[in-house]
Amino acid sequence: MQLLAPTPLWIALTIGMLTAAGVGMFSEGASRRAFLPGKTSAGHYQIELACGECHTDSFTNSDQIQSACQRCHGGELSEAEDSHPRTKFTDPRNAARVEVLDARYCVTCHVEHKEEQTREMGVTVPEDYCFHCHQDIATERPSHEGMAFDSCDDVGCHNFHDNRALYEDYLIKHLDEPAQLGHQRFGSLSKTETTTLEREAQTAAALSGEEGRAYESSAHGRAGTTCNDCHADAESQAWLAKPNQDSCRECHRREVDGWERGRHGMRVAAGLPPMRVGDGRVELASERAHESLGCNSCHSAHAMDTRNAAAEACQSCHVDDHTKAYADSKHAALWKKELEGVGAPGTGVSCASCHMPRVGSGNDGGVYVQHNQNDNLRPREKMIRGVCSQCHGVEFSLAALSNDDLVKSNFASAPATQHQSMTLVRARPRDEQ
Ligand code: HEC
Ligand code: HEC
Ligand code: HEC
Ligand code: HEC
Ligand code: HEC
Ligand code: HEC
Ligand code: HEC
Ligand code: HEC
Ligand code: HEC
Ligand code: HEC
């Protein structure tokens, strides 16, 4: 157990915060914000006013912060087959390494509210920190002789946690694949398991003209979903003028859960009001600044057109270079063909193909849409297994993703060079492969 020394600052803060809570000041974000010691990282600033999500009972207990990190991220790290799990460092054989860098604790590498030392992905250790534990790598692997320690985690080399698309075995298995695999493998979505609700049915007549027709021809209209399925308050059954994600949860639990784990819905998951477009740190359309994020940011209330949601909706809000470049990409041309009915279903590449892919096996629970658009975003190699390798060889995907200019131009051209990892794998003696 690691405890921070109870410095006078801590004592003052703890007393200050308890007093503030006592007099009800805590109900106001602004006063809570005053206790923040510095700017919160890109991953967490949306929920920074929900102090209790990370700082539970006391502000000084590292084990409590650790369990908060575990509660929200433990699942994804174990799914990622974390290469450096805590168990590696509670093993007495690694005690010497832990003395140099205590990798048992997340906060050793991810402290919070310290903008000046925070790099991408909330990492707060210097870039060459792998050195502390792997200084002998050139002896174990002569091919690594002379490589700089700040290059270990370059895109396509290694990650600290998720190496599923980088393991040697994986690369060897996919050596010499062509750039284009010539087939697509996105599965069809499974039917929604509908909860039958015993509520009074209403007709689309109550929705005027075009909106009514859109509803009737939508998946909901066709499936016989009633107005009250969304518009009746769960407790009082009173008419809700503006249904939100709580109305969808009953029938679409997985979509709502995913949405709450990413940057579109994480504030709602922390019990805060939904994210406002104007509060975003990434580049977003200023004319939508006042809007709050919800399911109908992408899905219009009654038409629920998923094709519009997959690219057009995103482009109306996101205005960074990468997003703007999409329209001119070969992927966008393929998506347009699919929309026009010229391309077969699954051959187009929309924003959602990469950022909200269809996941699941079809065996257990079926194929559904990953609504956490941060799930495969960083590190980028996460996109290889679930997305690119549906259509491209792994070598091509790795080379394309490791090129920042190609990401910025939304993959405007083929990558010019091969990735070094492939060169190394190829150079390994046959009997070692
Ligand atoms: C997403 C998680 C998270 C949220 C939310 C959060 N913090 Fe923190 N905070 C941390 C972490 C991690 C540390 C570093 C702890 C460590 O070094 O052991 C920290 C450290 C601190 C420190 C000590 C800084 C220092 O220099 O030692 C203070 C004070 C603090 N937080 C206040 C707040 C307040 C007030 C809020 C709410 C307004 C808040 N935090 C919300 C994660 C969070
Ligand atoms: C209440 C849930 C919650 C808690 C507690 C929490 N996080 Fe997060 N964290 C999130 C969400 C949601 C995101 C944003 C989505 C994403 O990037 O995956 C995020 C983002 C991050 C990122 C950045 C990922 C990126 O790609 O930019 C890191 C690193 C991280 N968290 C580590 C931690 C650590 C370490 C702790 C404990 C100090 C912690 N988190 C506590 C929910 C939480
Ligand atoms: C020794 C340093 C170190 C420790 C300890 C550490 N991380 Fe990380 N973490 C990193 C680095 C470096 C990255 C950047 C991506 C990579 O290399 O995997 C990262 C990325 C992440 C990400 C975003 C990317 C992803 O793969 O999902 C999350 C979330 C995260 N860490 C959570 C945690 C949590 C939770 C803990 C504690 C259980 C933890 N980390 C412990 C170094 C560390
Ligand atoms: C706190 C110590 C520590 C740090 C820091 C650390 N590692 Fe490791 N790493 C280990 C241990 C322990 C193992 C288990 C194998 C061993 O004993 O060498 C390991 C194993 C590995 C492996 C073997 C593959 C695997 O998944 O089993 C790779 C690759 C690796 N680390 C890369 C890195 C990279 C890249 C960094 C920096 C981003 C890093 N490590 C930082 C301790 C560390
Ligand atoms: C009473 C159950 C129920 C509720 C409540 C509900 N839905 Fe649905 N939803 C369905 C059914 C049934 C389908 C059709 C499923 C199918 O064909 O697989 C569907 C389909 C969808 C589709 C896919 C449309 C398409 O064209 O494929 C979207 C998007 C959707 N719902 C979003 C929502 C949103 C957003 C909410 C909340 C505002 C919501 N649903 C509330 C039952 C419900
Ligand atoms: C799948 C969920 C769903 C179903 C089913 C549904 N609606 Fe809606 N409805 C919504 C959402 C979401 C909104 C937009 C709320 C907002 O603007 O925030 C909305 C908005 C409305 C509005 C405008 C409310 C206002 O005050 O601006 C009316 C009127 C309405 N719906 C009537 C109906 C009628 C009548 C039916 C049945 C024929 C129906 N809805 C079926 C989800 C649904
Ligand atoms: C109504 C506006 C709106 C729409 C529509 C929208 N987004 Fe977002 N998006 C946001 C906001 C706000 C954030 C949070 C930005 C932040 O925290 O800086 C965000 C975050 C993201 C992120 C995470 C960025 C990061 O750096 O972690 C990705 C990726 C993303 N959106 C992709 C999409 C895609 C793909 C679509 C369409 C399928 C879409 N968005 C539709 C407003 C929108
Ligand atoms: C950022 C845009 C965006 C947001 C926000 C969003 N969706 Fe979706 N949703 C999509 C896209 C795109 C698809 C279709 C993807 C595909 O066809 O592969 C989709 C598909 C769906 C489907 C059909 C999936 C299936 O398996 O048939 C449902 C149901 C759904 N969304 C529900 C929701 C609910 C509930 C919310 C709010 C928690 C929500 N969506 C928020 C973009 C979004
Ligand atoms: C072929 C796959 C692909 C397509 C198509 C695609 N993206 Fe991306 N997107 C990526 C990759 C890879 C990244 C880089 C992730 C990283 O390393 O931060 C990214 C990053 C982003 C980011 C984060 C930018 C930031 O500064 O944090 C947003 C937002 C985003 N994409 C939105 C979109 C939107 C909107 C579309 C459609 C107009 C789209 N993307 C199309 C693969 C794709
Ligand atoms: C559904 C299939 C599909 C998926 C998924 C997909 N692509 Fe593509 N991609 C294609 C096709 C087909 C082309 C166009 C080939 C042509 O017209 O020459 C293409 C073109 C490209 C190009 C431009 C090649 C050139 O010659 O100009 C790059 C770079 C690229 N894809 C990278 C990626 C990356 C990286 C991912 C994953 C993040 C990805 N793609 C996901 C099918 C896909």
The pLDDT tens digits for 355-374 are: 999 998 767 668 999 999 99
Please state, in angstroms and as integers, the Cα–Cα distance from residue 430 to each residue in 168, 221, 425, following that order.
13, 60, 10
SS3 65: helix
The pLDDT tens digits for 194-226 are: 554 455 556 566 788 899 999 999 999 999 899
Q: Rounded distance, CA 284 to CA 146, Å? A: 43
With 70 as the cut, is the pLDDT of residue 15 above it? no
| 77 CA: nearest ligand 3 atom | 27
Running DSSP on this structure, what letter comes out for residue 374?
A: T
Please state, in angstroms and as integers, the Cα–Cα distance from residue 292 to each residue in 60, 236, 268, 289, 427, following that order.
35, 25, 11, 8, 53
**Nearest alpha carbon to residue 120 among 89, 148, 154, 80:** 154
Q: Quick one: pLDDT at residue 194?
A: 56
**What mean pLDDT do residues 305-328 have?**
98
Q: How many CB atoms lie within 10 A of CB 366?
A: 17
Q: Is the CB of 132 under 6 A from ligand 4?
A: yes
Q: Quick one: pLDDT at residue 24?
A: 39
Q: How far is the CA of 230 from the centre of ligand 6 (A)?
A: 7
Q: How confident is the model at residue 32 (pLDDT cuts 50, 70, 90)?
A: confident
Q: Is the CB of 421 under 6 A from ligand 4?
A: no
| CB-based contact 295:259 (threshold 8 Å) | yes
Q: Quick one: pLDDT at residue 189?
A: 84
Q: Rounded distance, CA 260 to CA 67, Å? A: 19
Q: Quick one: pLDDT at residue 203?
A: 57
Q: How far is the CA of 336 from the centre of ligand 2 (A)?
A: 35
With 70 as the cut, is the pLDDT of residue 319 above it? yes
Whether the bond between 379 and the residue before it is cis, its omega within 30 degrees of 0, is: yes
**What mean pLDDT do residues 231-248 have?**
93
- Helix, strand, coil percent values for the chain (each to nearest 5): 45, 5, 50
The pLDDT tens digits for 158-188 are: 999 999 999 999 999 999 999 999 766 667 8
The pLDDT tens digits for 119-136 are: 999 999 999 999 999 999
Q: How confident is the model at residue 22 (pLDDT cuts 50, 70, 90)?
A: very low
Give the ligand whose atoms come closest to the C-alpha of residue 355.
Answer: 7
Q: What percent of the chain has pLDDT over 70?
A: 86
Q: Quick one: pLDDT at residue 25?
A: 39
List all residues whose CB is within 6 A of at least one atom of ligand 9.
282, 311, 314-315, 318, 320, 322-323, 326, 331, 349, 351, 354-355, 377-378, 380, 383, 401, 407, 410-411
Running DSSP on this structure, what letter comes out for residue 191?
A: P
| 112 CA: nearest ligand 2 atom | 38
Of 197, 220, 298, 339, the one to substitute when testing ligand 5's pocket (max ligand atoms within 8 A of C-beta) is 220
Show me where the domains of the chain are located.
Answer: 8-123, 163-192+277-433, 193-251
Closest residue to atom 36 of ligand 8, CA basis: 295
pTM, full prediction: 0.96
Q: What stretches of 106-222 adopt beta strand conformation (E)?
A: none
Find the helix or strand (DSSP H, E) in which 358 lies. strand 358-359
